[in-house]
Amino acid sequence: MKKIIAANWKMNKNIDEALSFVNILESKLTEELQNSEVLIYPPFVSIYPLKDLCSKVKLGAQNFYYKEKGAFTGEISTLMLKGLVDFVLIGHSERRHIFNESLDLINKKVLVAVENDFSSMLCIGESLEEKESGKTIKVLKEQLETAYKDVDFNKVKRLSVAYEPIWAIGTGRVAGAEEIEDIHKEIRVQLKKIAGKALSDEAHILYGGSVKPSNSKELLSKENINGLLIGGASLQINDFFDIIQNSEKINK
């Protein structure tokens, strides 16, 4: 299975900076990618101008609202994203915690993404308090079950889930690769119960939280770490490129 190397730019880079980054990245990716799928989640305003520049790189949307259109000031819908992005990110912990997105809203977004044929990348993760009280698996299970409630999995072509422990995002604190591998195995078990064997076997389970070139190699060497969702380090072209190179070197 190819690894997904995804950049989550969050609220960073204006259009010029985004164009320049992707121009350089596309020119650095001289050889055909063998083991990796490269994906960038830019801010909304850069998606359209980036579209024509991308050949090896895929684009995703960091967020959207679940209604198709109407009086929802400031929101963007899947109808507007059609033809522009392949992936949509759903339930990032910053959306859950800064913008108070509920489990119910996240479920509505997953349902809309499926109906509109986007690959949804669902973010899940526990807080430090939940981790320390041994509740990690319970929390992840609840986040998966509620997000995928009522989803018609016959319509789902591929599943991707990003495991991002909240305490590891932007903190420099990374969970151990072995520990993440075990958690990813458990996520796959839960996905099997929810979505069936075929989709869960093929599901990409990514890790996110303080990924750097220096720790990416070990993380990517694990069988059940099928990709990385990278915030801070994805803003630097050299760091992001190094992580892609590390992924290309792994033959799994």
Catalytic (active-site) positions:
92, 164
Whole-angstrom Cα distance, residue 212 to residue 28?
19
Nearer to ligand PGA among residue 27 and residue 144 (C-beta): 144
CA-CA distances (angstroms) from residue 21 to 11, 28, 53, 213, 246? 15, 11, 10, 17, 19
Least CB distance to ligand PGA at residue 16 (A): 22
Nearer to ligand PGA among residue 209 and residue 227 (C-beta): 209
Minimal CB distance to ligand PGA: which residue? 231
The residues, ordered by sequence, that sit 6+ positions from 48 with a Cβ below 8 Å of its Cβ are 84
**Phi-psi category of residue 243: left, alpha or beta, with phi > 0 → left and psi -120 to 50 → alpha:** alpha
Nearer to ligand PGA among residue 208 and residue 227 (C-beta): 208
Confirm if 206 and 229 have CB atoms less than 8 A apart: yes
2: nearest Cα among 39, 28, 40, 54: 39
Task: Give contact residues for ligand PGA (rule: CB under 6 A).
Answer: 8, 164, 169-170, 208-211, 229-233
Nearer to ligand PGA among residue 69 and residue 173 (C-beta): 173
Whole-angstrom Cα distance, residue 221 to residue 130?
27
Residue indicated by tokens 């190179």: 245
Nearer to ligand PGA among residue 190 and residue 216 (C-beta): 216
Nearer to ligand PGA among residue 170 and residue 176 (C-beta): 170
Pairing of strands 227-230, 204-208: parallel
Question: 199 is written with which tokens?
Answer: 């989709």
Cα–Cα–Cα angle for 189, 143, 124, rounded to 5 degrees: 85
3 state DSSP class of 52? coil
Question: 238 is written with which tokens?
Answer: 């050299």
